[in-house]
Amino acid sequence: MQCNRLVTLTCVFVCTMAPRVIADSFTVDSWLLLVGIDGESSIRTGSATVSNPFVTTHSRMLGNDWVSADYDFSWAEQGRFLVDASLAATATPTESTTTGVSGRIKITPTDDLVVRYRTVFDVTLPADFMIADLSFDVFDAVTHEEIHDVSASADTIFHTGDSHLADEGEFLLPANRTWDFAYLFRIINFPSAAGAQGVGNGFLEFEIIPEPATILLCAPIALLLLRRTREAQTRFRR
């Protein structure tokens, strides 16, 4: 029994010396989170103050148009970032109208990490001359080298009505570089679509987790310690 306890304690000690996704495995350096409506007049709001956790809502209305974003960010043993977006745009005979939810989050990892993400944007564009865009890009904040690029759009030149834009996957986030995580949900209505309203609802969720080699680092150590303990127990019984 004492030997088994020793294995457990030793494994805990060794594994805690391995890289971990805690506060010092990556830092959130800065961000700019925005929602806005641009047409005959413009209105915007947002946040540039980093806090952990970050749970809030940004929203604006202008006439029949609206834009809203719900944020749920936190990072400790791992990072989770969720943006829920809702927006509507109605063009006028003289001006295009754009509603958008956008943001840029700067993150610097000290270990190689994995980013798992899922994003969805469901839109209804009932008339010609309407466009909806979804994008999620990750690039080096200094060199602008891209390591991830997702973009999708619905254009009523090809299809009116409902569209489902979506993507999911994972990618490696290399250590010791600052990365810009940039996202966008947007609806654009042109004057030729005056009176028609485009509506969209969507979300982006991404998690920052240990690189697989880090996760598996403890397994061989635990097996080695357990085998040595069993050998010691056998010798003791003899």
Q: Which has the closest alpha carbon to 187: 156, 216, 166?
A: 156
**In terms of pTM, does the model score above 0.85?**
no
3-class SS string, 7-32: HHHHHHHHHHCCCCCCCCCEEEEEEE
Residue 24: per-residue pLDDT = 60
Residue 20: per-residue pLDDT = 35
Each residue's pLDDT tens digit, 163-197: 999 999 999 999 999 999 999 999 999 999 999 99
Q: What angle do CA 59, 61, 67 make, to 5 degrees?
A: 50
Each residue's pLDDT tens digit, 54-102: 999 999 999 999 999 999 999 987 899 999 999 999 989 999 999 999 9
Domain boundaries, the chain: 21-212
Q: Checking DSSP bridges between strand 130-140 and strand 161-173, what pairing results, if any?
A: unpaired
Give dist(CA 158, CA 218) in Å, integer: 53
By 3-state DSSP, what share of the chain in percent is helix, strand and coil, each rounded to 5? Answer: 20, 55, 25
